[in-house]
Structure 1
């Protein structure tokens, strides 16, 4: 029971910091560094649906498939974080924390937002993986791919998948700055995931 409580406490924390990354750093800057976060932001721009709703539309089909393939426990935990993350997005106000940095230079704002948001999202995904679940986005797709192709590293799969999201975000926004700094944020995310999972932090 203690293990279950600990798992869900950490998973709740992961959902909360993902929401913080979106509402404080990514939504206001347009950065879309992959994952459920970036994919939802990109699709939100295309279809005109708010980010929290779009994240559910993407996550639920993936959730059903992952439960079938990766197991019931994984599915239940992933369902929880999938529902908790959009809820936190609605509860936590959207604040452009780094907006004042644009007065110095727009690049400074994008750099700081990308780095801080990347650390939060990477930490959230790493925490989720350490507690036998995923955040419901490209990490689920990566785990499904790795389930079939076991020789592939999860970080490599995530990098390819999320890199595609970054390229798409650059095309949609027609901004090379958004694309470049989304990519830099993605690198921070991948490095943070590797650090959290390899060190088995929170596990």
Structure 2
């Protein structure tokens, strides 16, 4: 019950933070964005149309077909997100943090808007607009959502370059990039790490050293050499990024000829990460 309530509250909180970033840093420094927000900002700069109302009006034509195709459960949270962004964009319309450094403004805009969007996305909602268009095109024509979203953002930023100016477009791209990274951080959480795949004839010694010195769990996988056909044991271990050098040092000390692959892990749940008791898998 409380989880559901928090999800709905989080959409509103995320929309408020996002609106602070829009008005406080993007509008205050005459920067833009992609998607429907970018179009709304262009209309604000050139025609004086209110950002919040324009954003809501632009979304209505895509919310209706989204409702018909995907059902009310999917579109309801998105509608709340759209309305909340529209309302808070109007409420915070006079909030400004002007700066003489547009790059600094773009960086702060990316951080604040990305954090707000991340909260909205994590709650299962979106801010509508190009996201719904991308879903509709994928549903009817099997278009890639990622490519569709990129194409829409590219078109909007191109319009910004033509109508407002190339420098504004370039700084806006910086804000978009930073926002995308912050969104990923919010969605993936802080429990990120690195997965190490270790192939060595000294696997028993390496496993024992990892358990004793790092108190991290390991998994032994059965494998065979593709060329020799001989049986192998593959060590799989997930550790925080800060512990990767220690694992590499252990492996290098025990078996300098070991084969080690380090991969990014975006979210790690379980013992040693989301609660404290270490164990061996």
Aligned-partner SS, 2:108: helix
Q: 1:151 to 1:138 in 2, by over 3 A?
A: closer
- Structure having the larger proportion of residues in strand: 2
For residue 170 of structure 1, what is the aligned residue in structure 2?
A: 161
* Bigger CA radius of gyration: 2
For residue 70 of structure 2, what is the aligned residue in structure 1?
A: 70
For residue 90 of structure 1, what is the aligned residue in structure 2?
A: 90
Which structure 1 segments of 5+ residues have no match?
103-108
For residue 159 of structure 1, what is the aligned residue in structure 2?
A: 150
Verify the 8 A CA contact 1:34 1:138 in the aligned structure 2: no
Quick one: which of 117, 122, 126 aligns to 1:134? 126
Deviation at residue 199 of structure 1 after TM alignment:
4.0
For residue 8 of structure 1, what is the aligned residue in structure 2?
A: 8
For residue 188 of structure 1, what is the aligned residue in structure 2?
A: 178
Deviation at residue 30 of structure 1 after TM alignment:
1.7
Tell me the matched-pair count: 191
Verify the 8 A CA contact 1:14 1:123 in the aligned structure 2: yes
Verify the 8 A CA contact 1:159 1:190 in the aligned structure 2: no
For residue 27 of structure 1, what is the aligned residue in structure 2?
A: 27
Quick one: which of 117, 121, 143 aligns to 2:113? 121
Q: 1:168 to 1:136 in 2, by over 3 A?
A: same
Verify the 8 A CA contact 1:23 1:92 in the aligned structure 2: yes
What TM-score do you get using the length of structure 1 for normalisation? Answer: 0.81
Of structures 1 and 2, the one with the larger relative CO (CA 8 A, separation 6+) is 1
Verify the 8 A CA contact 2:134 2:145 in the aligned structure 1: no
Aligned-partner SS, 1:196: helix
1:111 is aligned to 2:103:
yes
Deviation at residue 54 of structure 1 after TM alignment:
0.6
Larger mean Cα displacement after TM superposition, 88-97 or 58-67: 88-97
Deviation at residue 76 of structure 1 after TM alignment:
1.3
Deviation at residue 29 of structure 1 after TM alignment:
1.6
